Structure 1
Amino acid sequence: MFTVHLPKAQLQKQTLFTSNETAGNVYRIPALLYERESKTLFAFAEQRKTSDDASGEKLVMRTGKIKEGSSKKTVGVIWSELKEVEKALIKGYRPMNPCSVYGKVNNKLFLFFICVEDAITEMYQKENCDNRTRLCFITSEDLGETWSDVIDLTDELSEIKNWSTFAVGPGHGIPAESGRLIIPVYAYTSFCCKPCFLPNSKSYALSLYSGSHGKNWKFGELFNTVSVECEIVEISKDHIYCNARNVGGYQVEAVSDDNGVKFNNLQPGNKLVFFMQHPIRVLL
């Protein structure tokens, strides 16, 4: 469930992606981004044949335009029809975990996602320490109407070869006040040596960031606490808050004072119970 707070607006529930497993259309892993200048909402999701993540086929999106009345009060959102993000694809792989961010300096929309080799599950990768996942993104300079070709960062970031698997977000990244673009990531570190030892893969959140408006990207440091899916927000200049899912349905909170490179955990007492809700809806 997404909640976007729009000024002077009455919240109304709208269903953006409706699954129909009988028809082979299941929508999972939603992501939502609001771009203030253009007053545009971007909603992304995975389209699968079933709820099984190995059945993923494509990423889809809908765009929402804020509608204002004569007094500049928000009166609603006009949503586009659902469409496939055709450029978000590598042959032989399925796209997963959409995570978007808008670069204010170059007015460019970035859509990050992972591409996982067809029929390969996350469990297989973790159990065999066999990473079959690639880190990709595409960009749009016209608010999602058209997209660039896929850019694959996998071979440019040496940390990836040490992981069993990984993913971005899902959800959204942030354009920090400094101009840095930051994407939330989580990675399963690999502690196995096939065939000598049994696998012992644990997940830790971290950041992917760019100080060059998206030209070059680097990873931050891994959390020191087990953590999985995560979201980030800037609480003040160079101070980034991260809320990450932990095992057992709990969340881990952490704060960075160096613009998202290294995160320090808050007190354990600040862990929150995590709830999941379906279907995919947005409150406006």
Structure 2
Amino acid sequence: RKCSSLKGDKQTLFTSNETAGNVYRIPALLYERESKTLFAFAEQRKTSDDASGEKLVMRTGKIKEGSSKKTWSELKEVEKALIKGYRPMNPCSVYGKVNNKLFLFFICVEDAITEMYQKENCDNRTRLCFITSEDLGETWSDVIDLTDELSEIKNWSTFAVGPGHGIPAESGRLIIPVYAYTSFCCKPCFLPNSKSYALSLYSGSHGKNWKFGELFNTVSVECEIVEISKDHIYCNARNVGGYQVEAVSDDNGVKFNNLQPGNKLVFFMQHPIRSSSPCTPGEKDEGRRSKSTLLSPNTDTSVLLITSLQSAWPPTSMSASSMGLLSSVMIRTVR
């Protein structure tokens, strides 16, 4: 099947009203193919300021059989995505096909604490959390806090997931994109040394246990990932100065190597990848090497072709059915 979700009229799912104290930022989208269900998440804030975040909200969409028409539910709060004294941020979801379980990852940041404060003081006040649903988002589990189980976190100034979505790899591994500000510093020499690097969070046990992969060797921030063939994961991340970083892993997301070292690829957006969803690639073609395409919205929400992976992997035939097509055009917020 071709990805028909790119067609049709745009539909606004989260409309901000700062006067009323409802501002929606950092949208994320996931499509579950078997149930033909779309999951849209966003942060709800009092203002556009990151530190004013209050809760995560969601809407679910059903795709009508035989068409691309979608019917969306009313907006509702994800009540379980909360720790007292903290604000939830950066929704990033993934669907486990083996156990039919929806995972919603997010970070919880101590109330009133900003990212800048954490970076400047090497004082990590962020926790790594997730909740799960076995009924397509109707009900959710209690919060599971992984912070104390992953020793790497204590060495970071701060960190975040995605935002956007993770992937269920062909191998069965669940992979979540992450970026972390390393803290090789002590006060007062903090600022020049707090740099961000993308990495993965993955589970080979269908979500029971989680591990971090290796940090990128290039400065990188918000990121998205897609599987381009078995055990080969592509990552596109925001860099500093309006550039992007492309990297590929050939060990199922543990270690990533720069795809085009030495080249500066212009990042077309004022903001990083804020929302995305995997959708079905084109028709299967066994006789031709497939390419993976990343589409992202610019600040006017139009579609921009960012890159096409060329001869980046071993010269073996790859089926289009084994690819993922990452699309960031199905959800937008209105400020």
Common topology (TM > 0.5): yes
SS at match of 1:215: coil
* Aligned residues of 1:95 and 1:113 also touching (Cα < 8 A): yes
Structure 1 residue 59, shift from structure 2 partner: 0.2
* Aligned residues of 1:125 and 1:131 also touching (Cα < 8 A): yes
Distance 1:58 1:71 in 2: 30
SS at match of 1:96: strand
* Aligned residues of 2:93 and 2:165 also touching (Cα < 8 A): yes
1:258 lines up with 2:251 in the alignment: yes
* Aligned residues of 1:113 and 1:137 also touching (Cα < 8 A): yes
SS at match of 1:160: helix
* Aligned residues of 1:191 and 1:199 also touching (Cα < 8 A): no
Gaps of 5+ in 1: 1-9
| RMSD over equivalenced CA pairs, Å | 2.8
Structure 1 residue 274, shift from structure 2 partner: 2.6
Structure 1 residue 205, shift from structure 2 partner: 0.1
Deviations 1:62-93, CA, capped at 9 Å, x for gaps: 0000012599999xxxx000000000000000
Deviations 1:219-246, CA, capped at 9 Å, x for gaps: 0000000000000000000000000000
* Aligned residues of 1:14 and 1:283 also touching (Cα < 8 A): no
User: Which is richer in strand?
Assistant: 1
* Aligned residues of 2:238 and 2:272 also touching (Cα < 8 A): no
Assess, with a 3 A threshold, how the Cα gap between structure 1 residues 81 and 269 changes in structure 2: closer, same or farther.
farther
TM-score, normalised relative to structure 2: 0.76
Structure 1 residue 282, shift from structure 2 partner: 8.6
Quick one: percent identity of the two aligned structures? 98
Structure 1 residue 250, shift from structure 2 partner: 1.4
Assess, with a 3 A threshold, how the Cα gap between structure 1 residues 154 and 240 changes in structure 2: closer, same or farther.
same
Assess, with a 3 A threshold, how the Cα gap between structure 1 residues 192 and 236 changes in structure 2: closer, same or farther.
same
SS at match of 1:161: helix
Distance 2:114 2:74 in 1: 31
* Aligned residues of 1:174 and 1:234 also touching (Cα < 8 A): yes
Distance 2:269 2:137 in 1: 28
* Aligned residues of 2:24 and 2:333 also touching (Cα < 8 A): no
SS at match of 2:178: strand
Assess, with a 3 A threshold, how the Cα gap between structure 1 residues 38 and 124 changes in structure 2: closer, same or farther.
same
* Aligned residues of 1:26 and 1:51 also touching (Cα < 8 A): yes
Deviations 1:111-134, CA, capped at 9 Å, x for gaps: 000000000000000000000000
Assess, with a 3 A threshold, how the Cα gap between structure 1 residues 196 and 15 changes in structure 2: closer, same or farther.
closer
Distance 2:210 2:260 in 1: 30
Assess, with a 3 A threshold, how the Cα gap between structure 1 residues 164 and 101 changes in structure 2: closer, same or farther.
same
Aligned partner of 2:37 in structure 1 is 40
TM-score, normalised relative to structure 1: 0.90
Distance 2:271 2:194 in 1: 29
Structure 1 residue 173, shift from structure 2 partner: 0.1
Aligned partner of 1:239 in structure 2 is 232
1:64 lines up with 2:57 in the alignment: no
Structure 1 residue 200, shift from structure 2 partner: 1.7
* Aligned residues of 1:103 and 1:181 also touching (Cα < 8 A): yes
* Aligned residues of 2:199 and 2:214 also touching (Cα < 8 A): yes
Deviations 1:136-157, CA, capped at 9 Å, x for gaps: 0000000000000000000000
SS at match of 1:123: helix
SS at match of 2:74: coil
1:157 lines up with 2:161 in the alignment: no
* 1:132-143 aligned within 5 A: 132-143=125-136
Distance 2:263 2:8 in 1: 29
SS at match of 1:166: strand
1:202 lines up with 2:195 in the alignment: yes
* Aligned residues of 1:55 and 1:119 also touching (Cα < 8 A): yes
* Aligned residues of 2:30 and 2:40 also touching (Cα < 8 A): yes
* Aligned residues of 2:120 and 2:190 also touching (Cα < 8 A): no
Q: Aligned pairs, how many?
A: 271
Assess, with a 3 A threshold, how the Cα gap between structure 1 residues 216 and 279 changes in structure 2: closer, same or farther.
closer
* Aligned residues of 1:13 and 1:283 also touching (Cα < 8 A): no
SS at match of 2:13: strand
Structure 1 residue 253, shift from structure 2 partner: 0.1
SS at match of 2:251: coil
